[in-house]
A = this chain, B = another copy of it.
Amino acid sequence: MSNTQVLLKSKPEGNPSTDHFEVIMADMPVAGEGEILCKTLYLSLDPYMRGQISGRHISGSIHPGDLMRGETVSEVVESNSDEFNPGDLVMHHGGWQAYSVSKPEDVERVDARLDPLSLALGIMGMPGLTAYAGVYYLAELKSTDVVLVSAASGAVGSMVGQYALNMGCRVIGIAGSDDKCSWLRDVAGFHGTINYKSEDLAAAIARECPDGIDFYFDNVGGDMLDTAMWQLAIGARVVLCGLMAQYNTDVMPPGPNPASIIKARATVRGLVVYDFFNKKQEFLDKTIPLLADDKIKYREDVSEGLEQAPEAFARLMRGKNFGKTIIKVS
Instruction: Name A's B-contacting residues (CB within 8 A).
Output: 56, 58, 218, 221, 225, 240-241, 243, 246, 252-272, 275
Q: Is the CB of A268 within 8 A of B265?
A: no
A–B Cβ pairs within 8 angstroms, 25 of them: A225-B258, A240-B258, A240-B262, A241-B262, A246-B257, A246-B259, A252-B257, A254-B255, A255-B257, A255-B258, A255-B260, A256-B258, A258-B270, A261-B270, A262-B272, A263-B270, A263-B272, A264-B270, A265-B270, A266-B269, A266-B270, A267-B267, A267-B268, A267-B269, A268-B269
The interface centre, meaning the residue of A258, A261, A275 with most chain B CB atoms within 10 A of its CB, is A258
Q: Which residues of B contact A256 (CB under 8 A)?
A: 254-255, 258
Q: Which residues of B contact A254 (CB under 8 A)?
A: 254-257
Determine chain A's interface SS by DSSP, over half rule: mixed
* A269 nearest in chain B by CB position: B267
Q: Which residues of B contact A225 (CB under 8 A)?
A: 258
Bound form: Cα–Cα A267–B240 in Å: 10
The interface centre, meaning the residue of A56, A218, A246, A268 with most chain B CB atoms within 10 A of its CB, is A268
Indicate whether A262 sits within 8 Å of B243 (C-beta atoms), given known contacts A257-B252, A257-B255, A267-B267.
yes
Bound form: Cα–Cα A257–B269 in Å: 13
Q: Which residues of B contact A263 (CB under 8 A)?
A: 58, 270, 272
Bound form: Cα–Cα A255–B262 in Å: 12
Q: Is the CB of B259 within 8 A of A265?
A: no
Q: Is the CB of B261 within 8 A of A265?
A: no
Bound form: Cα–Cα A42–B221 in Å: 46
A261's contact among B56, B253, B268, by CB below 8 Å, is which? B268
Bound form: Cα–Cα A275–B266 in Å: 12
Bound form: Cα–Cα A243–B257 in Å: 10
Q: Is the CB of A258 within 8 A of B58?
A: no
Bound form: Cα–Cα A243–B266 in Å: 16
Bound form: Cα–Cα A257–B225 in Å: 10
Bound form: Cα–Cα A264–B268 in Å: 12
Bound form: Cα–Cα A268–B256 in Å: 12
Q: Closest approach, in angstroms, between the C-beta of A26 and any C-beta of chain B? A: 34
* A238 nearest in chain B by CB position: B268
The interface centre, meaning the residue of A58, A259, A267 with most chain B CB atoms within 10 A of its CB, is A259
The interface centre, meaning the residue of A225, A267, A271 with most chain B CB atoms within 10 A of its CB, is A267
Bound form: Cα–Cα A265–B269 in Å: 6
Q: Which residues of B contact A272 (CB under 8 A)?
A: 262-263, 265
Q: Closest approach, in angstroms, between the C-beta of A210 and any C-beta of chain B? A: 20
Q: Closest approach, in angstroms, between the C-beta of A202 and any C-beta of chain B? A: 15
